[in-house]
Amino acid sequence: MFGLVAEHQPLIHARGLVKRFGEFTAVDGIDLDVEPGEAFGFLGPNGAGKSSTMRMISCVSMPSAGELRILGMDPVREGPAIRARLGVCPQLDNLDPDLTVRENLTTYARYFGLSRAQARERAEEMLDFAQLRDKASSKVEPLSGGMKRRLTIARAMVNEPDLVLLDEPTTGLDPQARHLLWERLFRLKQRGVTLVLTTHYMDEAEQLCDRLVVMDGGRIVAEGSPRSLIESYASPEVVELRFGSEPLEGFVERLSGVGDRVDVLPDRILLYAKDGDDAVSEVHRRGLAPSSVLVRRASLEDVFLHLTGRTLVD
């Protein structure tokens, strides 16, 4: 780590950050500080402003208003100098499809000014990191989605960046590929690499992030660790009740007072409670006979849905 940023300076510092596209305000005045070594997440539905924020942090989008410092520098005047120390894994893969896996890594390393020998050496390390050694001489085109993502992340690491930006790193991958990718990212986190990621997967945020913000409509609506967000915005446990095909609205009144909050979904009712089993006893005591009962711990998904609403955003 460079002495310059190691002290008390956050790697990302934003105050009142705004991004407008004509009349549309994508990011509406957000404040952020990301410290070295953190794994920081932006959580939010589509159109919440996560990607616009990420683009500003990666210095390819200029802020419309507000203050933004990346690695202590000004992204408007010092874009290339900042980008030289970032590792960016974009939402859309932009590997060179006609180059081999190894060539993708060496070519990219050269963009950062590594010597040919360093580039080759670094590419070999990254092949191991991405678990793509046996594909090293294969072209990128025929690789699976998960392999391409791993290669994109490995490529982003080739310059040993101070800050790694991942925009929806596992979107579109199958469960095996996602878990493998998480494991790789967890390894980076353990090495002390600062990670900033956007996601709309709650499990991803819970797995990887030390701290996260929930964005909605261009604003930050909540901030904290996954655990503290669950504690502040949801009760410790959630009871999911199903009543076959009966209309659910009729049960709401009969459930009032059970737990802290009742939420009706199209197919089930959620009861937020301190103690799920107590809540279930109370439901039975009131003479209700749900067709199925599930008691689970509250998750980030409950927080997310509570904060950003249930309206579908396309």
- Contact residues toward other proteins (CB under 8 A) are 21, 55, 58, 60-62, 79-81, 83-84, 86, 88, 90, 92-99, 103, 107-108, 110-113, 115, 159
Position 56, amino acid: M
Rounded to a whole number of angstroms, the minimum distance from the CB of residue 102 to other proteins is 11
What is the Cα 227 distance to its own chain's centre?
A: 15
**Residue number with CB closer to other proteins (56 or 238):** 56
Rounded to a whole number of angstroms, the minimum distance from the CB of residue 139 to other proteins is 9
**Residue number with CB closer to other proteins (14 or 205):** 14
The candidate with the shortest Cα–Cα distance to 38, out of 229, 232, 225, is 225
**Residue number with CB closer to other proteins (93 or 203):** 93
Yes or no: say if 151 and 169 are a contact pair by the CB < 8 Å rule.
no
Rounded to a whole number of angstroms, the minimum distance from the CB of residue 107 to other proteins is 5
**Residue number with CB closer to other proteins (85 or 306):** 85
Rounded to a whole number of angstroms, the minimum distance from the CB of residue 307 to other proteins is 28
Helix, strand, or coil (residue 119): helix
The H-assigned helical ranges of the chain are: 3-6, 50-57, 79-83, 101-111, 116-129, 145-156, 175-190, 202-208, 226-233, 249-255, 276-285, 300-308
**Residue number with CB closer to other proteins (61 or 207):** 61
Give the chain's end-to-end CA distance (angstroms, integer). Answer: 41
* CA dist 140 → 101, 168, 198 (Å): 6, 20, 25
Yes or no: say if 182 and 151 are a contact pair by the CB < 8 Å rule.
no
Rounded to a whole number of angstroms, the minimum distance from the CB of residue 56 to other proteins is 10
Rounded to a whole number of angstroms, the minimum distance from the CB of residue 231 to other proteins is 37
Which contiguous run of DSSP H or E holds residue 270? strand 269-273
**Residue number with CB closer to other proteins (152 or 207):** 152
Rounded to a whole number of angstroms, the minimum distance from the CB of residue 111 to other proteins is 4
The candidate with the shortest Cα–Cα distance to 276, out of 239, 314, 228, is 239
* CA dist 135 → 54, 141, 144, 169, 200 (Å): 31, 12, 11, 21, 30
**Residue number with CB closer to other proteins (52 or 170):** 52
